[in-house]
Chains A and B, each alone.
Chain A
């Protein structure tokens, strides 16, 4: 697959610089150096071949700014990095938001953090930052924001229309699952447009990463996605291990898999409770938390924390698990399987729930590459895309498991996909416990001050919400030069304005609830 794409691109576009790189070192297969002239051609070609944008970010090498586009394919693994160099004095780049709709928000983010102006973009306003920024935060030197840029960034004005009124959903609202504000323009009971406003929880994790060593950044990923903290921890640790070439022993891989799957079940349980609470049924919330307490007790006995875990280290784990963990986990798996029957009786077969959820918020399959969904959202449309089988890591290549898919892509499908995922997680846990080998839990020679070799790497993990990716650029010092987090809720949220249009307010809220958004990971 990689070879064919390589040949296609080389032949279609004249004078293009494209190289094959070592996947084991870099995490991507092909590197394309684009220029302003042929960027749109390259992107158009990749769009025709049904690639989606995995991530789009900018890195400030002081002599030039490099905009990095990482593409991937849903059907087979082929990651392509397209990079575009722009001049640091007056950075301008062409927009690709007319080809890929998801680039709209990514370009807004790059504009406000780096100052790169995208020609042709229709709404370059603040995304995360708000009024009062005098200089671009993620640049290496202090570059002030020019007056015209400031005016452009500040120009968010909701457009008034006849017979409509604005309702602010949030930032304090029982159903927004975090601090998200959505400005909804309503005509009676129907939603005319919905515009999310982000940035209420922005804590500059990416800037913090540049000022802390790799080891000092370990507690941060858990604060980004608190329900699924172990998976973000795994993304960070696995990316750095891949960059440095550290080999993790097998026992550590299996324990990582088991704890990550337990965390996934806990996160999905939290989602079920919150989703039903949105719809008005307040009791399943407490039943889900009852089950979640069991998982949290097991994980507390192992890691010491209940929510924001900092358990994985470079080369292995912080401490080992004991027999108590194995027996408690087996007990939990047995108990949880019986609880699924209860959830089915109470929720899944309930006619009121089915009527609220079926046929609402349908995602069509042709929307999928434009928006870059991942996780249960994409699996509900019928595409069996899961990073655990697409690009195996930890012990997932040694365990067989199926990938549940939906058919239509409505809220009901997302619900059933997540329920099936929980059941499959229990299967994975059982198989992994049966195969748990003995041995060391930490790699042999891991230097105290980690100094990775020069270069960049992208590594992605299937977190509870979708594809979580870390893009690290290292310059041989002990602090990362740039660390970029690709979070799944960000690309999932982008579809909400399109789906909410024309629906009732109750439906819009149910759709937003079914996406399983966690705002701290969007705002980083």
Chain B
């Protein structure tokens, strides 16, 4: 049998709890109505990787087609890297770099192991598509598209 004091204390605790929710009722909302408003993405966000332009020859990427990222990827997401050696150059340049983003776990091992720092994370936080093939990115083509925009 509960005593009168306990019943009163219990009742008061209920009223205090209701006070908390009514205070929240009159407070502003903390949600952001996406997609009508968007938030800024931090610069270190790990979207899919992208190729970085070579500082001396900005029309090309830094990638030298060594295959370190392909060998070290835990999920085997980097499917094919092809390159060609142009006239008068010492190292190869990349012509095709297929990344299967559907199996990528954004671990950053490819970015770390690249000997020339050719890969970087992009800030693409909302990629959309209708089929799985929409997420098989060719990073060289994406690089070209970005250069066209500039």
In the complex, A touching B (Cβ < 8 A):
yes
* A-B complex: 5 closest residue pairs judged by Cβ atoms: A351-B10, A304-B46, A219-B107, A216-B74, A310-B107
Known contacts A283-B21, A300-B42, A346-B21; is-contact A305 B106 (Cβ 8 Å):
yes
With the chains together, A297 CA to B42 CA distance in Å? Answer: 9
With the chains together, A33 CA to B108 CA distance in Å? Answer: 42
A159 contacts B by Cβ under 8 Å: no
- Per the 8 Å Cβ criterion, residues 286-320 of A in contact with B are 287, 290, 293, 297, 300-305, 308, 310, 313, 318-319
Known contacts A319-B44, A351-B9; is-contact A346 B17 (Cβ 8 Å):
yes
A contacts, CB < 8 Å to B: 212-213, 215-220, 223, 283, 287, 290, 293, 297, 300-305, 308, 310, 313, 318-319, 342, 345-347, 349-352, 448
Known contacts A216-B74, A219-B107; is-contact A303 B44 (Cβ 8 Å):
yes
Residue numbers in B under 8 Å from A319 (CB-CB): 44
17 CB < 8 A contacts A-B: A213-B72, A216-B72, A216-B74, A219-B74, A223-B105, A290-B30, A302-B44, A304-B45, A308-B105, A310-B106, A318-B108, A319-B44, A342-B20, A350-B17, A351-B10, A351-B14, A448-B113
Nearest B residue to A211 via CB reads B74
Residue numbers in A under 8 Å from B11 (CB-CB): 351
Residue numbers in A under 8 Å from B13 (CB-CB): 349-351
The answer to whether A301 and B42 have CB atoms under 8 Å apart is yes
B contacts, CB < 8 Å to A: 9-11, 13-14, 16-17, 19-21, 24, 30, 42, 44-46, 72-75, 105-109, 112-113, 121
- 7 other A-B residue contacts (CB within 8 Å) besides A220-B74, A313-B112, A318-B112: A215-B109, A216-B109, A219-B75, A304-B106, A310-B106, A345-B19, A349-B17
Residue numbers in A under 8 Å from B121 (CB-CB): 304
Most buried by A among B30, B42, B45, B112: B42
Residue numbers in B under 8 Å from A219 (CB-CB): 74-75, 105-107
With the chains together, A330 CA to B72 CA distance in Å? Answer: 38
The answer to whether A215 and B72 have CB atoms under 8 Å apart is yes
Residue numbers in A under 8 Å from B72 (CB-CB): 213, 215-216
Known contacts A216-B74, A300-B42, A351-B13; is-contact A345 B107 (Cβ 8 Å):
no
Nearest B residue to A322 via CB reads B44
With the chains together, A297 CA to B30 CA distance in Å? Answer: 14
